Amino acid sequence: MELSTRNYCIILAGGRGKRLWPTSRMERPKQFIDFFGTGRTQLQSTFDRMATILPKENIFICTSLEYDHWVREQLPELSENRILTEPVIRNTAPSVAWGGVCIHRECADARIVVVPSDQVIVREDAFRKNVLDGLNFVGNHDIMLTMGIKPSRPEPGYGYIQMGETTEFEGITKVQSFTEKPEREFATMFMQSGEFLWNTGMFLCNAQHLHDFFMEVIKDMPYRMANLLTMESAEERRQYVKDYYPAYPNLSMDKAALEMTDNVYVMQCDFGWADLGTWHAAYECMQKQDDDNVVIDSQVMMEDCKGNIIKLPKGHVGVINGLEGYIVAEEGDVLLICKKSDSSSLIRKYVNEVGIRFGEKYI
């Protein structure tokens, strides 16, 4: 099947992945790791997936300066102008704005999909259909469209999108409200109501609307990424980004799209999804062994153990007895043993405390 040259993709690959510590480390975070032992890292798998949906030369990678070398090493087929390296970390909205301008310069009527680099997609064919349907929709409508998944559990680590008014396109509704990482009690209420979808962090829109969107949500910024549209010299554009990117706010695309504009819609999808953001999420998305244990690409002997997730380095052997509901994760010089149910908040705390007490080389 011929891939439309109007379809473009921005892959976000600048995150530090602290919630999957210690496997994900600041020096090499989760998107640059072959987490599942498939032979491809999360970034490479995301690139491969999107290259079946649109031309691979239409894929842009946004990353931070400290991870530029990982992108170049893992995706050597990418041309220089497809790697957008942020001079400073400014969250995902500025990355998308920059990528959108680069795409707009090439194709004013482009349709754009923005995807994180660290997600698990189970049904690739269903995902492909949803993305292409969404790109066609935003090609004919000046809106921001996100992809939502029906919750399968009350997961407090995800964002929840409330569906509102229906549209003429089946499965697409206006976004009524958005709640980021609610308490478990509210997550349970949201799931039981049937009105909410998980936020996947994937967004679709056309190039012109993306330009207009950022002009709307960041009204008072003296610096506009859109100024790059009128600059002919690549060197001039690089210098402009270097000089002015720090002036951009530390703003996530989730907040910008789902909280700062009314013109946002959600497509209900069913392609089997998990955000590889936490150990608990990794546990939920993987096939369980005996006694509901999950062992990720590791050599382990387990006895009288239930509901654990284990990830050890190559060449290490784990022998575990009598453990229930724990994370056991080792990488390099750090071993973590932590209750799975409390992992999101605890790991953040441990990362900070380890950095202070023992030094940043351990985080």
Q: What is the CA radius of gyration of the chain?
A: 21
Nearest C-alpha neighbor of 254 from the set 148, 133, 336: 148
pLDDT number for residue 221: 60
Helix (H), strand (E) at residue 69: helix 68-74
- CB contact burial 142-168 (16+ within 10 A = b; e otherwise): ebbbbbbbebeebbbbbbbbbbeeeee
Q: How many CA atoms lie within 13 A of 42 on its CB side?
A: 27
For residue range 316-347, list pLDDT tens digits in order: 999 999 999 999 999 999 999 999 876 777 88
pLDDT number for residue 1: 61
Angle at 268 between CA 264 and CA 274, to 5 degrees: 105
List of domains in the chain: 7-275 (3.90.550.10), 280-362 (no CATH)
pLDDT number for residue 266: 97
Regions in the chain scoring below 70 on pLDDT: 1, 219-223, 342
Q: Phi then psi for 140, rounded to 5 degrees?
A: -110, 0
Q: How many CA atoms lie within 13 A of 240 on its CB side?
A: 17
Q: Phi then psi for 203, rounded to 5 degrees?
A: -130, 145
Query: Which residue stretches of 201-246 are H helix?
Result: 207-217, 234-244
